Amino acid sequence: MRECNLSKRAVLIFIVIYSLLVLFLLSITPFSYSEANILFSREFNIDSYIVKLIYNYSINVELLRLPFFILAIAILYLYIDLLKDYFKEFDSYYNLAILFFLLTPGIFLSFILVNYATLPIFLTLLFIYSYNKDIKSLEVLSLVLLLFTHTAQFVLYIAVILYAYRDKRFWLVLLTVLLFIIIAVEAKYGVDGVPKGHLVELIGIYAAIFSPLLFIAIIYSLYKVSIDKDRDLVWYISLVAFVVSLILSIRQKIKVTDFAPYLTIVLPLVIVSFRSSIVVRLPQFRKNYYTICKIVLAVLLLETLIITFHYPLYKLYPSSSLLLDSRIYEVKDIANSLNSTNNKCKDEIGSRKKNLYLYYGIKKCD
């Protein structure tokens, strides 16, 4: 990787190993707080419905996560197909874009755990795929299904309205305006509140989801594309999601997971910006760019390894800040201990842990 690239063979081997690793972690990682909240959520959304449907027939954690793993495979397929619009198949930048996507901490975790991000990422990529191929039925289906996901889908609708109007697809503008009005009735996010430092917190969480250096590259690529005026659908969706989340966070605390799925698709533009910065320079002046690329990849790989070896790291250095909340192991151990003595209740259960204990069949004692 002298010039920060991978061969076709290397990237295929990496995808196979990565998939096996995800399956392994999917089977050994205890049920998490966010998964328990999805399972026992009272809101109607597709994610919760799927998990509850499987839970009614089996409490096996692997089966609960299996549909989301299948969706993850579909996401990878659609993402790879999207890359063909930007790069020649299996050239160095094409392979690099795949590697960046798979090693992004937020993507890696979304492939392992039941979460609210997987389905929106899939539907967003499906919409882009159908839009580029002009498959109207899939365009409508993906946009309508997004109504029933637990995210800020209105940012995608805004982006589609703007881009479809520019592209003179007026039927799609009308459809998306209608869907936007339906979402607006719920008014999940308002414009009230006062500045309280939520913007700084938002930036910090984005940096954790994407890795700090990669997040900086994402901001730069969004800016660079806006200057170059080569603005495609991916740019519109990513920029609207990012800007709207920043604006809303000035006065209120927002859930980054509501907006992050629509920003993950920007990674091809990051690699395009990297490529354009490389090709305009003579070979002797490209070294610094390759070095930066290798540093970003090294950090992404380190974060992936931290997630992979989270349990042994937790045993050596008990902490809840290693990208995956280590307290899920404690809850599982306590619940198993209580179940072994046929005790189905616990005296002290915090509100945050309530649903996770409930998953293991433990309730708060009366």
Instruction: Give the alpha-carbon dihedral of 137, 141, 144, 146, to 10 degrees.
Output: -140
> How far is it, in rounded angstroms, from Cα 61 to Cα 28?
9
Would 164 be classed as within a structural domain? yes
pLDDT of amino acid 342: 80
Would 219 be classed as within a structural domain? yes
Note whether 307 and 338 are same-domain residues.
Answer: no
> Residue 195: which pLDDT band, with cuts at 50, 70 and 90?
low
* pLDDT tens per residue across span 69-119: 999 999 999 999 999 989 887 788 899 999 999 999 889 988 998 889 999
pLDDT value at 163 more than 60: yes
Q: Is the pTM of this model over 0.85?
A: yes
Note whether 125 and 218 are same-domain residues.
Answer: yes
pLDDT of amino acid 310: 80
Note whether 77 and 55 are same-domain residues.
Answer: yes
Three-state secondary structure of the chain? CCCCCCCHHHHHHHHHHHHHHHHHHHHHCCCCHHHHHHHCCCCCCHHHHHHHHHHCCCCCHHHHHHHHHHHHHHHHHHHHHHHCCCCCCCCHHHHHHHHHHHHCHHHHHHHHCCCCCHHHHHHHHHHHHHHHCCCHHHHHHHHHHHCCCCCCCHHHHHHHHHHHHHCCCHHHHHHHHHHHHHHHHHCCCCCCCCCCCHHHHHHHHHHHHHCHHHHHHHHHHHHHHHHHCCCCHHHHHHHHHHHHHHHHHCCCCCCHHHHHHHCHHHHHHHHHHHHHHHHCCCHHHCHHHHHHHHHHHHHHHHHHHHHHCHHHHHHHCCCCCCCCCCHHHHHHHHHHHHHHCCCCEECCCCCCCHHHHHHCCCEECC
pLDDT of amino acid 365: 81
pLDDT of amino acid 191: 59
Mean pLDDT (the chain, rounded): 86
Residue 71 near residue 122 (C-beta atoms within 8 A): yes
CA 251 → CA 143, 187, 192, 202, 243, distances in Å? 29, 15, 7, 12, 14
Note whether 301 and 343 are same-domain residues.
Answer: no
Note whether 301 and 347 are same-domain residues.
Answer: no
> How far is it, in rounded angstroms, from Cα 107 to Cα 113?
10
Note whether 311 and 357 are same-domain residues.
Answer: no
Would 322 be classed as within a structural domain? no
* pLDDT tens per residue across span 201-237: 888 889 888 988 899 999 999 999 888 777 899 999 9
Note whether 193 and 308 are same-domain residues.
Answer: yes
**Cα angle value 119/206/28 (rounded, 5°):** 55
Would 2 be classed as within a structural domain? no
Residue 142 near residue 127 (C-beta atoms within 8 A): yes
pLDDT of amino acid 281: 75
pLDDT value at 322 more than 60: no
Would 160 be classed as within a structural domain? yes
Percent of the chain with pLDDT over 90: 35
When comparing pLDDT for 15 and 320, which is higher?
A: 15
Q: Please, which residues have CB within 8 angstroms of residue 256's CB and are 6 or more apart in sequence?
A: 202, 205, 206, 209, 245
pLDDT of amino acid 83: 93
pLDDT of amino acid 317: 66
- Mean pLDDT throughout 341-360? 82
Note whether 130 and 276 are same-domain residues.
Answer: yes
Q: How many domains does the chain have?
A: 2
Would 26 be classed as within a structural domain? yes
> Residue 169: which pLDDT band, with cuts at 50, 70 and 90?
very high
Percent of the chain with pLDDT over 70: 93
pLDDT value at 2 more than 80: no
> How far is it, in rounded angstroms, from Cα 336 to Cα 244?
44
Would 321 be classed as within a structural domain? no
Note whether 114 and 13 are same-domain residues.
Answer: yes
> How far is it, in rounded angstroms, from Cα 297 to Cα 366?
52
pLDDT of amino acid 356: 86
pLDDT value at 146 more than 60: yes
Would 278 be classed as within a structural domain? yes
pLDDT of amino acid 175: 95
CA 4 → CA 82, 128, 355, distances in Å? 21, 28, 44
Note whether 352 and 311 are same-domain residues.
Answer: no
Residue ranges making up the domain that contains 340: 327-364
Note whether 254 and 126 are same-domain residues.
Answer: yes
Note whether 182 and 79 are same-domain residues.
Answer: yes
